[in-house]
C-alpha cells in the first residue's frame, strides 16, 4: 500500500506571459485580502517577494514541488489534472509537474503520466493551458525510474534497465515488487539520453515553459550518480566524474534541444531513497553543482539533507550551503519546509525559491494563505496515491470556502 513514507507509492509553444497578460489574469482581490495587504505589506514576507528566474518573472517564491498522484489512467494525463494544477497556479507562480515518464522503459508505477506518445502530448496541452490562463508557469518533470520497476511495467515483460544489475530489496509483503535490473551497456546509454531529449521536445510541443530533469530519489539518473548503486567499471562508473557523466549528458542533450534557459534539474545527493546513497554526498553535491555551471541551465532544485528518511525530518550533519554557493543559477530547496523556515531560508540567502510538497497538495492557495497568515488545511496521506479524480485531489478547500463554512 502506498505510504507517505515512500513519497512515491510502492512499486507493486513555449509561452511567456507578458506583465500585461499576467495582469489580465489577476483575480480581483477580496475585501479581506485588501485589508490584509494594507496591514502586512507583501514585501515583508520573503517567500512572497518577486524573483526573476531567467526570463521568468516570478511574483513569489512558493513553488509547487513535483508530486506523483497516480491519476493518469493508462499513463495518459487526464482532464482532472487541468483543474488540480490550475487550482495551484497563481499569476507569476511556478509549478513543477509530477514525475512524467520519458519512454516505455521508464515506467515503474501504475497511472503515472508519460510524455512520449502523441496521445500523452495532446493530453498535456489543456493542462498547461489551464495554468497559463491563470498567469502561472509550469515545467514538466521528466523521469526514468531505472531499476525501481517491475517487468509488468516494461515492454514485452523485460527486465527494467539500470546502471547496475544489483536488485532492490523487495518490501516484506511484496517479494515481486522489483524485478532485478539489466545493466545497460555503454553503447545503449545514448539511446536513453536521446529519450530524455525527445521527452523535452515533446514537453515544448505540449506548451510547457520548460522541463525539470528528475535526477533525484533513487531513480535512473540518481542510480548512476551514487557510489553504493553504480558498480560500473566503464566510463560511466567509478570516479565522481564518471558517475556524473550520464546526468550531464542528459542535461546537455536537453539544453541543446529546448534551450538552457528552460532546463532545471532535481537532485537529492544526501538522500538514500530507493537504496540509492552515496558515501560522500557533499563531494557529489558540489561536484554536480560545479559541473552544471558549464551548461548554464536555469535552476538546480535540491532536496534538503534533513529529508533523509522521507517522511520525517531527521538531524543531518550536512547543509545545502556548499552546493548553493557552488551553483551559479537559480537554487530551489525543498523538503520539510514550513512558512517560517522557508522565509528564513530566503531571507538568509540559503535559497532563491522554496518548493512545497505536502502543504501545497493540501492547500491549493498556499501563497495566498502565507500572505494572509491563514491556517493551513491538513494533508490526508491516505489519499495521496488513490486514483479518485476528485477526492484528495481537487477537493481541498480554498481559504475563501473555509472561511465561508465557519
Where does this chain bind ligand FMN (CB under 6 A)?
4, 7-8, 65-68, 98-99, 141, 214, 216-217, 266, 303, 307, 334-337, 356-359, 384
Q: How far is the CB of 232 from ligand FMN (least distance, A)?
A: 24
Q: Hey, what long-range contacts does 31-36 have (CB within 8 A, 24 or more apart)?
A: 32/372, 32/403, 33/368, 33/371, 33/372, 36/371, 36/372, 36/373
Q: How far is the CB of 161 from ligand FMN (least distance, A)?
A: 19
Q: Hey, what long-range contacts does 129-132 have (CB within 8 A, 24 or more apart)?
A: 129/82, 129/207, 130/82, 130/83, 130/85, 130/86, 130/89, 131/85, 131/86, 131/89, 131/95, 132/15, 132/17, 132/207
Q: How far is the CB of 73 from ligand FMN (least distance, A)?
A: 17
Q: Which is nearer to ligand FMN, 303 or 372 (CB)?
A: 303
Q: How far is the CB of 8 from ligand FMN (least distance, A)?
A: 5
Please state, in angstroms and rounded to a whole number, the distance separating the CA atoms of residues 284 and 249.
Answer: 16
3-state secondary structure of 100: strand
- Catalytic pick among 75, 85, 109, 219: 219
Q: How far is the CB of 157 from ligand FMN (least distance, A)?
A: 25
Q: Which is nearer to ligand FMN, 17 or 356 (CB)?
A: 356
Q: Which is nearer to ligand FMN, 1 or 186 (CB)?
A: 1
> Do 121 and 115 touch, CB atoms closer than 8 A?
yes
Q: Which is nearer to ligand FMN, 4 or 290 (CB)?
A: 4
Q: Which is nearer to ligand FMN, 22 or 334 (CB)?
A: 334
Q: Which is nearer to ligand FMN, 159 or 267 (CB)?
A: 267
The residue with its CB nearest to ligand FMN is 357
Please state, in angstroms and rounded to a whole number, the distance separating the CA atoms of residues 220 and 200.
Answer: 17
Q: How far is the CB of 223 from ligand FMN (least distance, A)?
A: 15
Burial of 61 (0-12, 13-18, 19+ CB in 10 A): buried
Concerning whether 219 is annotated as a catalytic residue, the answer is yes
Lookup: cell for 224? 548512476
CA distances from 20 to 29, 42, 86, 149, 156 (A): 17, 20, 19, 46, 51
3-state secondary structure of 292: helix
Residues forming the active site: 219
Amino acid at each position: 500500500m502506498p505510504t507517505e513514507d515512500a513519497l512515491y507509492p510502492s512499486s507493486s509553444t513555449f509561452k511567456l506571459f507578458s506583465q500585461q497578460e499576467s495582469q489580465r489574469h489577476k483575480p480581483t482581490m477580496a475585501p479581506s485580502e485588501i485589508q490584509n495587504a494594507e496591514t502586512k505589506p507583501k514585501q515583508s514576507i520573503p517567500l512572497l517577494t518577486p524573483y526573476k528566474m531567467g526570463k521568468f518573472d516570478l511574483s513569489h517564491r512558493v513553488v509547487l514541488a513535483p508530486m506523483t498522484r497516480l491519476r493518469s489512467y493508462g499513463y495518459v494525463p487526464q482532464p482532472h489534472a487541468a483543474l488540480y494544477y490550475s487550482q495551484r497556479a497563481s499569476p507569476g507562480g511556478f509549478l513543477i509537474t509530477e514525475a512524467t515518464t520519458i519512454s516505455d522503459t521508464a515506467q515503474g508505477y501504475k497511472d503515472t503520466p508519460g510524455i512520449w506518445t502523441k496521445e500523452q502530448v495532446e493530453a498535456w496541452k489543456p493542462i498547461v493551458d489551464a495554468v497559463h490562463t491563470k498567469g502561472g508557469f509550469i515545467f514538466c518533470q521528466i523521469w526514468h525510474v531505472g531499476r525501481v520497476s517491475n517487468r509488468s511495467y516494461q515492454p514485452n515483460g523485460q527486465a527494467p534497465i539500470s546502471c547496475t544489475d544489483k536488485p532492490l530489496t523487495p518490501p516484506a509483503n511484496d517479494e515481486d515488487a522489483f524485478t532485478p535490473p539489466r545493466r545497460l551497456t555503454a553503447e545503449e546509454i545514448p539511446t536513453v539520453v536521446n529519450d530524455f531529449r525527445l521527452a523535452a521536445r515533446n514537453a515544448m510541443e505540449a506548451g510547457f515553459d520548460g522541463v525539470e530533469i528528475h535526477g533525484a530519489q533513487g531513480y535512473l539518473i540518481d542510480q548512476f550518480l551514487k557510489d553504493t548503486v553504480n558498480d560500473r567499471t566503464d566510463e560511466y562508473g567509478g570516479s565522481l566524474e564518471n558517475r556524473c557523466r550520464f546526468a550531464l549528458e542528459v542535461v546537455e542533450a536537453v539544453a541543446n534541444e529546448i534551450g538552457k534557459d528552460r532546463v532545471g534539474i532535481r537532485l537529492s545527493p544526501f538522500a538514500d531513497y530507493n537504496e540509492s546513497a552515496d558515501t560522500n554526498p557533499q563531494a557529489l553535491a558540489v561536484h554536480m553543482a560545479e559541473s552544471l555551471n558549464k551548461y548554464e541551465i536555469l535552476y538546480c532544485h535540491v532536496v534538503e539533507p534533513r529529508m533523509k528518511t522521507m517522511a520525517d525530518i531527521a538531524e543531518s550533519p550536512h547543509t545545502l550551503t556548499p552546493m548553493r554557493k557552488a551553483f551559479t543559477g537559480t537554487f530551489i530547496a525543498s523538503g520539510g519546509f514550513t512558512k517560517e523556515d522557508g522565509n528564513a531560508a530566503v531571507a538568509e540567502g540559503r535559497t532563491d525559491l522554496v518548493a512545497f510538497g505536502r502543504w501545497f497538495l493540501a492547500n491549493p492557495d498556499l501563497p495566498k494563505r502565507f500572505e494572509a497568515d491563514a491556517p493551513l488545511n491538513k494533508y490526508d496521506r491516505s489519499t495521496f496515491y488513490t486514483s479518485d479524480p476528485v477526492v484528495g485531489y481537487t477537493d481541498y478547500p480554498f481559504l475563501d470556502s473555509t472561511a465561508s463554512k465557519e
